[in-house]
Amino acid sequence: MKYNKLALVTTMILLLLLNTACGNNDDATDTAETGNKNAAELSEKAEAYGSNIAMVKQPPWYQEPTAEQLKTAKLDNASDIIVSSGPYGEEAVPASKIIITEQQAAKIKEGKFTAAIAMGFLGDDWSEQQLAGLKSEFGKLGIEVVAETNANFKDTTQISDLQAIAGKKPDIVVSIPLNAQTTAKAYQALADAGAKIVFMDQPAEGMVAGKDYVSVVSADSFGLGMNIADELARAIGGKGEVAALYYAPNFYVTNQRYQGFVARLAAKYPDIKLVEVQGFQDPNRSQEVAAAILTKYPNLKGMYASWDVPAMGAVAAARVAGKTPENFKIVNENLGNEVALNMAQNGFIAGIGSQRPFDQGVAEARLAALAMIGEPTPAYVAVPSLAVNRENLENSYKVIYHKDVPPDILEALKK
Nearest to 271 by CA among 57, 55, 73, 51: 51
CATH superfamily for domain 59-81+221-356+387-414: Response regulator (3.40.50.2300)
Do 187 and 202 form a contact (C-beta atoms < 8 A)?
Answer: no
Comparing 38-42, 110-114, 152-156, the range with the smallest average pLDDT is: 38-42
Do 269 and 225 form a contact (C-beta atoms < 8 A)?
Answer: no
In the prediction, which pLDDT does 69 show? 83
Give the span between the Cα atoms of 122 and 11, in whole angstroms: 81
Mean pLDDT of 269-295: 97
Q: How many residues does the chain have?
A: 415
In the prediction, which pLDDT does 57 show? 94
Comparing 33-42, 217-226, 307-316, 397-406, the range with the smallest average pLDDT is: 33-42
Percent of the chain with pLDDT over 90: 79
Per-residue confidence band for 297, with pLDDT thresholds at 50, 70 and 90: very high
Nearest to 225 by CA among 266, 268, 267, 254: 254
Comparing 74-83, 89-98, 302-311, the range with the smallest average pLDDT is: 74-83
In the prediction, which pLDDT does 379 show? 98
Nearest to 72 by CA among 270, 242, 259: 259
Ranges assigned E (strand) in 231-284: 240-247, 272-280
Q: Look up the CATH number of domain 93-219+358-381.
A: 3.40.50.2300
Do 220 and 252 form a contact (C-beta atoms < 8 A)?
Answer: no
Residue 11 has pLDDT above 90, yes or no: no
The residue ranges of every structural domain in the chain are 59-81+221-356+387-414, 93-219+358-381
Residue 131 has pLDDT above 70, yes or no: yes
Q: At what angle do helices 357-372 and 393-401 cross, to 10 degrees?
A: 20
Q: What is the pTM of this model?
A: 0.80
Residue 40 has pLDDT above 80, yes or no: no
Q: Residue 115: is it exposed, middle or buried by C-beta count within 10 angstroms (0-12/13-18/19+)?
A: buried
Give the span between the Cα atoms of 158 and 248, in whole angstroms: 20
pLDDT, tens only, 201-253: 999 999 999 999 999 999 999 999 999 999 999 999 999 999 999 999 999 88
In the prediction, which pLDDT does 79 show? 66
In the prediction, which pLDDT does 41 show? 45
CA atoms within 13 A on the CB side of 380: 21
Nearest to 382 by CA among 215, 176, 140: 215
Do 125 and 334 form a contact (C-beta atoms < 8 A)?
Answer: yes
Per-residue confidence band for 47, with pLDDT thresholds at 50, 70 and 90: low
Question: What's the mean pLDDT when you consider all of the chain?
Answer: 89
Per-residue confidence band for 161, with pLDDT thresholds at 50, 70 and 90: very high
What do you get for the CA distance between the two ends of the chain, in Å? 102
Q: What is the per-residue burial (b if ≥16 Cβ within 10 Å, else e) of 285-309?
A: ebbebbbebbeeeeebbbbbbbbbb
For the chain, helix, strand, coil in percent to 5 are 50, 15, 35
